[in-house]
Amino acid sequence: MRGVRDDAELVAASLDGDRAAFGVLVDRHRPRAWAIARGMLPSREDADDVVQEAILQAYLGLKRLRDPGAFGAWLCAIAANLARMRLRATRDFTPSADAGGRTVPESFEASLIDELDSLRKLRTALEPLPPAERDAVLMHYVDGLTAQEIAALLGERAGTVRVRLHRARERLRRSLSPTRRELDPMVEVTVDDVVVRVLNDAPEGETRLANDRLRVVILKERDGDRALPIWIGPPEGDALALQLGGASFPRPMTADLMARLVEATGARIERVVVSSLREKTFYATIGVRTRDGVMELDARPSDALNLALRLGAPIFVDPELMEASGIAAADAGERMVALEREWLEGDEAVEEPGEWRSLSPEFVKALYPVPGRK
């Protein structure tokens, strides 16, 4: 006699059109899904509605379940997510009776109001997190789901979920510290300018740079008066300057190609973070959302900033980096003289008199004369 079929077998049979097999799955896991929904919602009727909707979503999306053996965790995660969405939709509703008109006990009403208030505060604290990290925290710490259950719901690896939870905890630990200036652990910035130092003693009608390999991008604090100068290479600096000025070369530059490739794959750049400075080298990360979720990619700041500017992604700087390397925007010109000496380690061009000048599109194109043109 054949034993009880496991979830993976029942899922396979359901995908082959066996509705009875799906009914067995529902009977097996509905009680747990209902208990999760009921623990989050104010009435049994709400829990019934949510679980029914979760079962329908599970049936319609069964083909997307990567691990058939995790059907129970998947169904519970769907129910928890729907319950959370219902709570969000009714967060300003103060209950006094359940859906059947029966009076809700005062103690239950008070506890529910406290719970909703706590959820509001939690959402406020989590708002600065990247969406993928925020959802992972809510599912794990509010809904009580394990990393494996969250992964089953999202169709991702449990290891990916654990990494997101770890990063979210680190961000929250820093942001909730009394020494932090804001709840958001990151400092939002804009690309304010790209500058070069032009020598004063160039022959009339000519422009000579103090150093051909030096471009400086100025990141300006969006809600403050600090700036972060970053030394980048000529191709990337010139590409940034052209984009800032609304101009381009006849042929697409590398940054343009990268942006088009991102769009062609259906991905989206969620944010760029200039994350650290080690041995005079800046480092950055790019948050890329794909069909499989959000990935954090290491990148040079010059490449990351070019992508962000072309695709409209927000740019952030790690607060510790801004604290250590940021300068007052009003003093940028004076401070960059010292920074140039530090960056170039006594390059002879540094000692020649000159001035910092914005790298306009016309200036960029003048640096690349067309062969044969006089």
Short-list 164, 169, 155, CA closest to 77: 155
Q: Which of 150, 175, 200 is the last residue of a domain?
A: 175
Residues 202 and 146 in one domain: no
Residues 167 and 29 in one domain: yes
Range of the domain at 80: 7-175
Strand 215-221 relative to strand 187-199, pairing: antiparallel
Confirm whether 372 is domain-assigned.
no
Split at pLDDT 50, 70, 90, the class of 369 is low
What average pLDDT does the structure give for the chain? Answer: 76
Please report which helix (H) or strand (E) contains residue 189, including its range.
Answer: strand 187-199
CATH number at residue 159: 1.10.1740.10
- The pLDDT of 49-67, averaged and rounded, is 85
pLDDT at position 76 over 60: yes
Confirm whether 1 is domain-assigned.
no
Confirm whether 180 is domain-assigned.
no
Torsion of CA 266, 270, 274, 276, to 10 degrees: -90
**DSSP letters along 267-333, please?**
-EEEEEEEEEEETTEEEEEEEEEETTEEEEEEE-HHHHHHHHHHHT--EEE-HHHHHHH-EEGGGHH
Confirm whether 315 is domain-assigned.
yes
What pLDDT does 80 receive? 84
- Point out which residues pair with 274 in neighbouring strands: 284, 317
Residues 138 and 268 in one domain: no
Split at pLDDT 50, 70, 90, the class of 244 is confident
Confirm whether 374 is domain-assigned.
no
Split at pLDDT 50, 70, 90, the class of 3 is low
pLDDT tens digit string along 263-277? 888 888 989 999 888
Say what the pTM is: 0.49
Among the residue ranges 29-38, 123-132, 236-245, the one predicted with the least confidence is 123-132
CATH number at residue 245: 3.10.690.10
pLDDT tens digit string along 29-49? 999 889 888 888 888 888 888
- Point out which residues pair with 193 in neighbouring strands: 218
Q: What is the domain count for the chain?
A: 2
Rounded to whole angstroms, how far apart are CA atoms 142 and 122?
9
Residues 235 and 316 in one domain: yes
Q: Which of 121, 140, 175 is the last residue of a domain?
A: 175
Structure tokens at 352: 């020649």
Residues 232 and 354 in one domain: yes
